[in-house]
Amino acid sequence: MLRKPLSWMVAVGLFSAVCSSFAAEAPVQQPQVFAPGVISGPAGEACPAFTPDGNTVYFDVGSMILVSHREHGDWSKPQIASFSGQWGDHDPTMAPDGSYLVFVSNRPVAPGAAKPAPGFGHLWRVDRKGDGWGTPVHLPDAVNASDRTYAPSVAADGSLYFIHPDEQGVFHVYASAFAHGTYQPAARVAVGDPAAATHDPAIAPDQSFMVFNMSDAAKKGDMGNFYIAFRQGDHWGKAIDLGEAINGKPGGWSQWGAHIGPDHRTLYYTSDRRTRLSFPLTPEQAKAALERMESWDNGSDNIWYVSLAPWLDAPRAR
């Protein structure tokens, strides 16, 4: 049985406490790599999902979900999460209250089956049990209408956002409300250009804004740029490009997997961006570049983060 999320008043109180705990941290105005050499390394890391206090992060590497804990300002060596490692798992996302986690897996739907499910793309939910986790539960057909269902994101009221392809194979964002203890039939989210492909939504807990990728539907495999859109009553406002500082130049970096951080004002995402070098290098610069390349800066996927304050704090037309 899926647990009903916390009431709105409890959730708001929790969000306020979490935001207060992050208030002292200065916003990062330019993208920075997250925990280089510890979490962001040579293995290809993606999709960070934080606990509400920001001191534990789950993320994926290849076919498994890892976990790391922050103590005295330092992140621990990542370990395989207790519910992962046997099947192909990726795309973790945390409920805003920390009570459960949703992720993508190819694990078989039928209990005891020996072969993975086809498509590598169903959503599963695992609930917090004390200091650990329970047994992952396959989400219903209202969510898993496609075997290519990816990129979950959870709102405070339990609504679940995700992507899957339409009949023409073009990906779009969909949402399923959580009511009366179950997920409701999913509907396509009317955000961005209706003719474009939309990917990897990161929904704010109160659903007031969303960060997502948008790309030309004809360019299969192209994630496009990051955009932000704000809720305006019963619809989404115009999608705003996050700009070259984050998105890079056309044809440059491959970037995807947007997640909203525990302060609800920081964007975490996956990117293969590298440090640009200006030649000639001094011996010191060459040594520093080698250390970065041996640690993380080698063109593989890493986790990056940047403040959303310029967009969240800007006046918006209603």
- pLDDT digit string (tens) for 189-217? 999 999 999 999 999 999 999 999 999 88
Does 299 have pLDDT greater than 90? no
Q: Does residue 37 lie in a domain region? A: yes
Q: Does residue 13 lie in a domain region? A: no
Q: Does residue 2 lie in a domain region? A: no
Band (pLDDT 50/70/90 cuts) for residue 275 is: confident
Does 21 have pLDDT greater than 80? no
Q: Does residue 12 lie in a domain region? A: no
Q: Does residue 217 lie in a domain region? A: yes
- Each as own residue / partner, the long-range contacts of residues 250-258 (CB below 8 Å, 24 or more positions apart, any chain) are 254/223, 254/301, 255/213, 255/223, 255/226, 256/46, 256/199, 256/200, 256/213, 256/223, 257/46, 257/47, 257/91, 257/151, 257/200, 258/200, 258/201, 258/202, 258/211, 258/212, 258/213, 258/226
- What is residue 26's predicted lDDT score, i.e. its pLDDT? 64
Per cent of the chain over pLDDT 70 is 90
Band (pLDDT 50/70/90 cuts) for residue 18 is: very low
Question: Cα–Cα distances in Å, from 129 out to 50, 101, 126, 134, 180?
Answer: 17, 12, 9, 6, 22
* CATH code assigned at 256: 2.120.10
Stated pTM of the model: 0.88
Does 4 have pLDDT greater than 90? no
What is the count of structural domains for the chain? Answer: 1
Q: Does residue 284 lie in a domain region? A: yes
Domain housing 105: 32-313
Band (pLDDT 50/70/90 cuts) for residue 290 is: very high
Q: Does residue 15 lie in a domain region? A: no
Q: Does residue 4 lie in a domain region? A: no
For 41-94, the pLDDT digits (tens) are 999 999 999 999 999 999 999 899 999 999 999 999 999 999 999 999 999 999
